[in-house]
Chains A and B, each alone.
Chain A
Amino acid sequence: MSCRLEPGAAITSLLALFAVALVIAVVLPRRHVASATVSHLRVLLPSWRFFDGLGTAPELLMRVGPSVSSFGPWQPVITVPPRRWRTLVWNPEGQLALASHALLERLQHELEEQPGTPPATLVAYQLVLNLVLSAVPAAAHGGVMQFQLLVRDTPDAPPTLLHESVPHAC
């Protein structure tokens, strides 16, 4: 008697096993894999976890001035564009804001994962520095800039300073 599985049934069985494996994976505690290759190829390994962690996103502030002794007030770096009807389909400014926030989350993660590493040596730090420099007003060019990375446990909680940069020329 032949026990051969029909192609359709085989596919269905394989996909069902795959689905069960993914459900088990999401139930298990998350483990960070410290591999640059895995990190760069993570798009091929979707986790499908959206909005599950409640910790608020890190905030990025900067201040500029003609010199380190004459900085202006701290101000937010990333601005999110207002919603328009075209946002349904066309939203490059929104994509930029989201990608910029992703840079902050990546830096926060790397700072927390590698506490002994000088922040300025991290690629994530360099990218955030580039982000801040891109936001410096033209009138402030030639002066100095400094940025802070802040985190809050909840939206109403006072911010905790995660990192404050040294002054950079801008």
Chain B
Amino acid sequence: MLNALALDDALRWTERLTGLAIFVGTLELLALRRHCADDGIWRWRTLQPELPWLTPLLAYRPFVGVLLVQAATAMALMAGAGRGTALVLWITSLLVCLRFRGTFNGGSDAMQMVLLSALVLAQWDPSRPVLVQAALLYIAVQLTLSYVLAGIAKWRQAEWRRGTALAAFVESPQYGVPPMLQRLLRRPRISMAASAGILLFECAMPVAWLSPDTALVVVGMAFGFHLVNVALFGLNRFLLLWTAAYPALLYAASRS
């Protein structure tokens, strides 16, 4: 039987993995910084009318500075620098989202803010375990809900219940799904089985809370689910950020 994940270990792993995910994501943004330059897609001249008071932070050069601060602080979080790092990252992450009119990458930005909000709480007063417990449980609940609510939302769509939705999504040009995988999911039985599997997996996520062993199995399945999503849809940030939330779920299951 799996040993319970200790509170301190869960917090440290959450910090390391969150820091890693944010570090990689920030490097990706830095690699794309020319698209935020004064002749880029997200040039500040276009966005400034909505947020003029943030010009000192979000015009091109200051924004690159924000990204560099974010990258450095993410490394500090990974290294265990602790107190204050999560708050700095919370602020820089929100600034990045504002720079892109609310979000750059949708759901992964939301999970990043969930992780950072919890870590701000955990780092507020490390001498109070109740704060760390609340932070980790909050992550675990949001992580569970991210699957369950996604599953419920899909279940309400007839195409998902019929097993035809997944094939339609992989045909969408926005994701560039590899042709081999598109051909595979055009087969009705495979599409229906995959759709049913996704619905069952997402809606059954709360079983992870039953025991540490169950949580470990579920986390393994979830990691595999996100690996497939990277192959299908290129959603690598989801893989990194959801993985950062798994220690919290393992801790939560160890309390049951």
Residues of A within 8 A of B (CB): 7-8, 11-12, 15, 18-19, 22-23, 26-27, 36, 39-44, 46-54, 56-57, 59, 76, 78, 80-83, 87-92, 94-103, 106, 123, 126-127, 130-131, 134, 154-155
Shortest CB–CB separation between residue A10 and chain B, in angstroms? 9
CA–CA, A41 and B117, complex, Å? 14
Once the chains bind, are A46 and B111 in contact (CB under 8 Å)?
A: yes
* Complex contacts, A94 vs chain B, CB 8 Å: 176, 234, 236
B107 interface hit (Cβ, 8 Å)? yes
Which B residue's beta carbon lies closest to that of A36?
B50
Residue in B closest to A50 when the chains form the complex, CB atoms: B150
- Cβ contact within 8 Å between A88 and B236: yes
* B253 CB to nearest A CB, Å: 13
Contact of A46 among B114, B159, B237, B239 (CB under 8 A): B114
Task: Assess whether B46 is in contact with A126, with CB atoms less than 8 Å apart.
Answer: yes
In the complex, the answer to whether B149 meets A80 with C-beta atoms within 8 Å is no
The total number of A-B Cβ pairs within 8 Å is: 184
Bound CA span A50–B106, Å: 10
Residues of chain A contacted by B110 (CB below 8 angstroms) = 43-44, 46, 48
Chain B contacts with A in 195-253, Cβ cutoff 8 A: 227, 230-231, 234-237, 239-240
Q: Which of B46, B94, B147, B234 contacts A130 (CB 8 A)?
A: B46
Give the nearest-CB partner of B167 in chain A: A155
CB closest residue in chain B, given A6: B130
Within the complex, what minimum Cβ distance (angstroms) separates B91 from chain A?
Answer: 13
Asked if A83 contacts B133 (CB within 8 A), the reply is no
Contacts of B134-175 to chain A: CB distance below 8 A: 134, 137-138, 141-142, 144-150, 152-154, 156-157, 159-160, 165, 168-169, 171-175
B41 touches A88 (CB 8 A): no
Chain B residues with CB below 8 A from A46, complex form: 107, 110-111, 113-114, 142, 146
Is the pair A40, B102 in contact by a Cβ cutoff of 8 Å?
A: yes
Given contacts A90-B28, A134-B41, A99 and B174 within 8 Å (CB-CB): no
Whether A7 touches B46, Cβ cut-off 8 Å, given contacts A40-B102, A57-B173, A101-B174, is: no
- State A50–B193 Cα separation when bound (angstroms): 19
Residues on B facing A (Cβ under 8 Å): 24, 27-29, 31-32, 35, 40-43, 46-47, 49-51, 94, 97-98, 100-107, 109-111, 113-114, 130, 133-134, 137-138, 141-142, 144-150, 152-154, 156-157, 159-160, 165, 168-169, 171-176, 178, 227, 230-231, 234-237, 239-240, 255
Q: How far is the CA of A127 from the CA of B227 in the complex (A)?
A: 32
Bound: A94/B111 CA distance, A: 19
A95 touches B142 (CB 8 A): no
List chain B residues, Cβ under 8 A from A52.
150, 153-154, 156-157, 160
For residue B227, which residues in chain A have a CB less than 8 angstroms away from its CB?
88
- Contact A51-B165, Cβ < 8 Å, known A26-B153, A88-B239: yes
Which among B169, B171, B236 has the highest number of chain A CB atoms within 10 Å? B236
Known: A81-B176, A134-B40. A155 touches B171 (CB 8 A): yes
Question: For residue A95, which residues in chain B have a CB less than 8 angstroms away from its CB?
Answer: 28-29, 32, 104-105, 237
* B150/A43 in contact, CB under 8 A: no
Known A39-B102, A57-B174, A154-B168; contact A90-B141, beta-carbon cutoff 8 A: no
B-chain residues with CB within 8 Å of residue A99 when the two chains form the complex? 100, 104-105
Set A23, A83, A103, A134: member contacting B234, Cβ < 8 A: A83
Report A46 CB to chain B, min CB distance, Å: 4
Q: Say how far A90's CB is from chain B's closest CB, in angstroms.
A: 7
The 5 closest A-B pairs by CB, nearest first: A80-B176, A46-B110, A52-B153, A94-B234, A155-B171
Q: How far is the CA of A13 from the CA of B173 in the complex (A)?
A: 44
**Which residues of B are found within 8 Å of A11, using beta-carbon distances?**
130, 133-134, 137
What B residues does A78 contact at CB under 8 A?
174
User: Which residues on B sit within 8 Å (CB–CB) of A22?
Assistant: 145, 149
- Taking a contact as CB atoms under 8 Å apart, the answer to whether B47 and A87 are in contact is no
